[in-house]
Amino acid sequence: MRNYNFINNLTGWLVFLVAATVYTLTLEPTASFWDSGEFIACAYKLMVPHAPGAPLYLLVGRLFSLFAADASQVAWWVNFLSGLCSALASLFLFWSITILARKLLCPSGEPPKKGNLLLVLGSGVVGALTYTFTDTGWFSATETEVYAMSSFFTAIVFWAMLRWEARAGEAASDKWLILIAYLVGLSIGVHLLNLVAIPALAFVFYFRKYSPDLKGAAITFISSAGILLFILWGVIPELPSLAGSIDVFFVNSLGLPFGAGIIAFVILLVSAILYGLYYSVRHSSRLLNTALLCFVFVLIGYASYMMIPIRSGYDPAIDINNPEDVMSFAAYLKREQYGDRPLLYGPQYNAQPIGQEEGALRYTKGEDKYIASPRIEPIYDSKDMALLPRIYSDKPADVQEYKKWMDLREGQKPTFGQNISFLLNYQLGHMYWRYFLWNFVGRESDVQHAGVLWFRGDSSSLPASVLQNKARNCFYLLPLLVGILGLVYQLRKRQRDAFVVGLLFFFTGMAIALYLNQPPAEPRERDYTFAASFYAFCIWIGLGVLALAELLQKLLRNKTVTAGLAFALCLSVPAIMAAENWDDHDRSHRYFSTASAKHLLDSCAPNAILFTYADNDTYPIWYAQEVEGYRTDVRVAVMTFLNTDWYVNQMMQPAHETEAWPLTLEKENYQQGTNDYLPFVERSQVAAGIDLQQFIQLVKENHPALQVQYGSGTSMLTFPTKNFYLGVNKQQVKEQGFVPQEKQDSIVGSMHLQVNVPYLEKRHLVILDLLSSNNWERPVYFSSTIPVADYVGLDNYSQLEGFAYRIVPVKSESKEEQGYVNKEVMYNNLLHTFNYRSLDSEAVYLDENYLRFAASTREKFALLAEAYLEEGNIARAKEVVDFCFAKIPLDTVPPDIFTPRFIPVLAAVGEPRQAEALLDTIARETQHELDYYFAKGALFERKVQLNMLQLQNLIIAAQDSGMQQQAVALQQPFRQYLQHMRQ
């Protein structure tokens, strides 16, 4: 037995070593796009990320960041944490598979020998390495995100439950259950996904302790679901909520200081637990004692969440939602700012509220009491409500996608059948099973909504962007077939174990899809959510070795030879997956995400205020500033966060080297529930316009001139005109020198802002206040990714200096472009300041997100070259174009919608052949892509639109370059494609 344990442990650690080596070699050296930059920054300085946070992950990430020799290595070390967790998940998967395989081959419990030993170990190696090289698992292992550590917790709790099963007859076996409870509690501080493993764990307990029957199975299922929901909806959000409610009573009713109710709650909770433990010991109730101890250890693990309010109390630079008191902390845990998704009953997507009602009270911490304000809940007609509402979101982007999926007519109410159809086709089919097949069959490309690559067939109809896509991987059905073989084998031999693995597979996959109730317009693919489900399927892939050996046994008599052959054949599964997935999971030389953040910061003058959008526009900047200390003189303001009072409060405080914003609005003017939006109600007296400072003063005074009364007796502020004026001290602006010399005479004495929106959001009000009070003392910039609608009329008063537009009192008259280009500043930034590392290497994998930012970079070069051409500086224009194609070649970053702009520039600078060759290349590939995506259907409508825009830009470019023959030749296919779009 000892010999087997030694070999089993050694082999497991060898699997871990392989996985850890692979992940280390392919690790991203810096912060990738999406949430990674946020998590690295928050781990490094223990700050507060977006709700519901991941405090344990941040604490461990902070520990790993201490190994960095300098700030530039922090990202690698925190990324390494994900790689290590994923490798540990493979390790515990190996040990879980060998436990299950041993039960299949040695049901009496004796250690396996010779052929059986090889089969047991081989099954573990194949299953664990398959998970190591899965698309989803590998992706999560090479960046800073919570899903790698979440997978580790799923792996270790499942393994621990199998270990308990083997020792359930021992006196001290309950310690394994307490360990599992502690691990579950810890996992709450990473991600809630681990909780869905509880039903599978419960059935391991049930099958080991009881003689199974239908009634017992039903009770176990209901009990396990109850435990899951008790932790998910009870322990996690409601314990802080209950503490908060008691504190509200103690403070508001009894006049005690803040926190008195929390202390009382803790005393009551601890006393109740201690009494329960005393009672269980006195009455020799082992079950009650174990249950209470498990509850205690869940709470101990959950206690990592205390980091969130503690660190928030210190007002760190990143402090999302500012959850520093018990009530805001409870709201943070409940993710209240994201709203609710109806699960069992709720309104359809086109339901219109017929009224409003006051819901539960919301409490916010005041000076000496909690301030109560009712939540306003919409009321819907019962005819617009539905069971299992899957078509529920009224966001325009979601509505458009619903119509694609369900062929809904305008105003049509979805039927129950259509809701179920959307559930099956989109939420389960597209958002789960497609991901499942990506991992075990193959993937067409990295384009969003990409399908499954079953086999490599005729590729003549594929555009180069798909055919040469590094994420185009095919596994020839081998992982899927071996997994099905293992599932069938386990079902035949040990149905109970197969049921347990099946529960794990279902609850970590399809059950999550049912619970999430995902809308159809997602900004990116969500396969990482289901990593644990793919982990469970890898158990069956491992057991497929045993199934294949059983089949081969009919042909070969030597069991050892059969075992070796089955292992060797099945080892081809992870081998093929490793070979196919390597090039699109190797991030070891990718730096452009951080570089793009630095480009945006370097586009700003010292002491600037920079408005950005969230996610990829902001999180890499947070990393650059908070970790590397880069350009901390720039105050970054996330546009979407400015709709909240806590974020405006943060802007009113100094940060790093920057001073507080010079806002004039008082807290009562922007607190939550006040001036969340101001509808447009025209007043004829000021239809021609109003002074911006006067308007802000009226808002501050809550002036009756801006108020409108509603039937309920309530009132709200409005904005009475879409025309605002702001006076400009021209001499002051000239002395500051930020307007180019050739534009000095164009400086206006008064800026006329046309705000063409149906209502002003709080963020718009804050921006207008900043503009009116700043008096040009601090530079104000907008990221070039921000939609024009959020400029509140400032888009015509902007100059491009890189990746950001600076607000200037110079009005641009261009109807085609936003603002104008500050040529000298932008030339210095693009050609001498910015870093384009790795964009010229074909070995570096650039996925859709990286290509999007690379395309935006190329656009800036085109705008600069055009600006030089406009003033007749041919030499500079040619220098800019040559530099662009040297740093961002078409071989590594394919042509995009902005590339046709280079064609007339090339023709004008004396490169007509290069211009013609570029036009021919783009035209050929664009038509190829249009043919491909038209055939793929409505899901790829966005790709069709982009390619149609590119083809249109090509025609314009050809005309501007004097290539009339080519322009005419392109017009015919353009009309044909346009007709196809309208069908």
Mean pLDDT of 271-299: 95
Residues 742-770 have pLDDT tens digits of: 899 899 999 999 998 888 999 999 999 99
pLDDT tier at 340, thresholds 50, 70, 90: confident
**900: exposed, middle or buried (C-beta count within 10 Å: 0-12, 13-18, 19+)?**
buried
Give me the percent of the chain exceeding a pLDDT of 90.
76
Residues 651-660 have pLDDT tens digits of: 999 999 999 9
Compute the mean pLDDT over every residue in the chain, rounded to the nearest whole number.
Answer: 92
Q: Closest by alpha carbon to 151, among 90, 62, 225?
A: 90
Residues 870-880 have pLDDT tens digits of: 999 999 999 99
Residues 882-917 have pLDDT tens digits of: 999 999 999 999 999 999 999 999 999 999 999 999
Residue 400 has pLDDT above 70, yes or no: yes
pLDDT tier at 297, thresholds 50, 70, 90: very high
Could you give the CA distance from residue 366 to residue 373 in angstroms, rounded to a whole number? 12
Helices 36-45, 55-65: inter-axial angle, 10-degree rounding: 70
Could you give the CA distance from residue 337 to residue 352 in angstroms, rounded to a whole number? 21
**3: exposed, middle or buried (C-beta count within 10 Å: 0-12, 13-18, 19+)?**
exposed
Q: Which token pair is 112?
A: 């396996």
pLDDT of residue 568: 95
Residue 857 has pLDDT above 80, yes or no: yes
Residues 944-981: b if buried by 16+ CB within 10 A, e if exposed: bebbbebbbbbbebbbbbebeebbeebeeebeebeeee
The H or E element that residue 659 is part of is none
324 close to 312: Cβ distance less than 8 angstroms: yes
Q: Which of the pair, 614 or 963, is modelled with greater confidence?
A: 963
pLDDT tier at 169, thresholds 50, 70, 90: confident
pTM: 0.93
pLDDT tier at 1, thresholds 50, 70, 90: low
Residues 490-507 have pLDDT tens digits of: 999 999 999 999 999 999
pLDDT of residue 647: 95
Contacts of 421 (CB under 8 A, 6+ apart): 406
798 close to 821: Cβ distance less than 8 angstroms: no
Q: What are phi and psi of 727, to 5 degrees?
A: -70, 150
Q: Closest by alpha carbon to 513, among 405, 430, 450?
A: 430
Residues 820-858: b if buried by 16+ CB within 10 A, e if exposed: bbbbebbbebbbeebebebbeeeebbbbbbbbbbbbbbb
Contacts of 53 (CB under 8 A, 6+ apart): 305, 308, 332
Residues 688-697 have pLDDT tens digits of: 889 999 999 9
Could you give the CA distance from residue 582 to residue 77 in angstroms, rounded to a whole number? 21
Residues 417-456 have pLDDT tens digits of: 999 999 999 999 999 999 999 999 999 999 999 999 999 8
497 close to 546: Cβ distance less than 8 angstroms: no
Query: DSSP of 623-639, one letter per residue?
Result: HHHHTS-TTTTSEEEEG
Query: Longest C-alpha distance within the chain, in Å?
Result: 99
Residue 613 gets the label, from left (phi > 0), alpha (psi -120 to 50) or beta, of: beta
Strongest mean pLDDT among 67-81, 374-388, 727-741:
67-81
Give me the percent of the chain exceeding a pLDDT of 70.
99
Helices (H), ranges, 494-558: 495-507, 510-516, 531-552
Helices (H), ranges, 313-366: 326-333
pLDDT tier at 358, thresholds 50, 70, 90: confident
What's the 3-state SS for 531-549?
A: HHHHHHHHHHHHHHHHHHH
- Start-to-end Cα distance in the chain: 71
Residue 379 has pLDDT above 60, yes or no: yes
The H or E element that residue 18 is part of is helix 2-25
Residues 709-732 have pLDDT tens digits of: 765 567 788 889 999 999 999 999
Residues 833-849 have pLDDT tens digits of: 999 988 988 889 999 88
